[in-house]
């Protein structure tokens, strides 16, 4: 199943790149004023068609098809949670920091996920109790963030498009640190690969923004905990699809700063 998810994510990436290479891509806005492009829709269609063909018994929710009645959705024990193009603002800016996100949710937990960055030719994928990998187009590397020691000047990763005042307050308490900015789910992936120690997200996100990358990070040994109550981030537990604040980090981070 994980192998199929990788293939599907890469196919969606190809559809996105066809639009990315165009000089002019139409951009519209949703009711919440978030942008959506032809590339978002093209990737959505590729993913949905493939998943419905290969796994017809598993329901799905996509950012581009999220109008599913809560009475129906709360019955789901297992389902696909998809963000066809995470980082639409980065796509529009043409900086390459956007991803295709496909997650498998079971009983509220993200148990498998793929995060594919087509411009960077990097595909992060993992499943709980199996491990996590990076396919950079030429080789595979097992990711294991549990071995990263926490330095005296830790690396904290944040959003390129929006760092909230609450994040600024949080990192101010850490002391000496390095702050790096990157778009989309790549923030989780930097923690998963050991390039960063923590990603504090103290601002709004939707469930499809985080699920695939959470699966990758947790498969690599990390944790994603709600803040400030420090409980695991879970899915499909309520009618609203907005996430609470959370911290995505290595175990060493939580040991050092949250115990």
DSSP code at position 77: S
3-state secondary structure of 67: coil
Residue 23, pLDDT score? 76
- Of 198, 250, 248, 210, the closest CA to residue 227 belongs to 248
Q: By the 8 A CB rule, do 174 and 154 touch?
A: yes
Q: pLDDT for 24-53, tens place per residue?
A: 777 887 766 678 889 999 999 999 999 999
Instruction: Please list the ranges in the chain whose pLDDT falls under 50.
Output: 142, 145, 147
Dist. CA 54–CA 74, nearest whole Å:
23
Q: Is 87 exposed, middle or buried (0-12, 13-18, 19+ CB in 10 A)?
A: buried
What domains, with CATH codes, occur in the chain? 2-142 (3.30.540.10), 145-257 (3.40.190.80)
Burial letters 7-22, b for 16+ CB under 10 A, else e: ebbbbbbebbeebbee
Residue 187, pLDDT score? 95
94 Rama class: left (phi>0) / alpha (psi -120 to 50) / beta: left
Q: By the 8 A CB rule, do 219 and 132 touch?
A: yes
Question: Could you tell me which residues come within 8 angstroms of residue 228 by beta carbon, excluding any fewer than 6 positions away?
Answer: 245
Q: Could you identify the residue written with the tokens 């009618």? A: 239
Q: By the 8 A CB rule, do 136 and 48 touch?
A: no
Residue 139, pLDDT score? 59
State both tokens at 133. Answer: 């990998």
Phi/psi at 132 (nearest 5 deg)? -140, 145
Residue 27, pLDDT score? 80
């Amino acid at each position: 199943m994980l192998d199929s998810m990788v293939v599907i994510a890469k196919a969606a990436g190809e559809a996105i790149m066809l639009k990315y290479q165009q000089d002019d891509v139409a951009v519209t806005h949703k009711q919440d004023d978030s942008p959506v492009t032809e590339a978002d829709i093209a990737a959505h269609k590729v993913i949905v068609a493939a998943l419905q063909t290969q796994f017809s018994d598993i329901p799905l929710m996509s950012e581009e098809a999220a109008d599913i009645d809560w009475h129906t959705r709360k019955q789901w024990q297992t389902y696909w949670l998809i963000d066809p193009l995470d980082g639409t603002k980065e796509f529009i800016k043409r900086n390459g920091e956007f991803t295709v996100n496909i997650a498998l949710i079971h009983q509220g937990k993200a148990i498998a996920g793929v995060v594919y960055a087509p411009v960077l030719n990097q595909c992060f994928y993992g499943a709980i109790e199996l491990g996590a990998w990076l396919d950079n187009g030429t080789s595979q590397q097992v990711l294991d963030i549990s071995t990263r020691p926490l330095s005296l000047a830790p690396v904290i990763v944040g959003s390129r498009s929006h760092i909230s005042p609450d994040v600024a307050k949080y990192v101010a308490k850490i002391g000496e640190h390095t702050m790096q900015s990157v778009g989309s789910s790549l923030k989780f992936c930097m923690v998963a690969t050991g390039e960063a120690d923590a990603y504090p997200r103290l601002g709004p996100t939707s469930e499809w923004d985080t699920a695939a990358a959470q699966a990758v990070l947790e498969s690599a040994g990390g944790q994603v905990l709600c803040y400030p109550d420090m409980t695991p981030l879970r899915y499909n537990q309520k009618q609203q699809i907005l996430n609470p604040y959370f911290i995505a980090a290595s175990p060493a981070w939580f040991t050092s700063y949250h115990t």
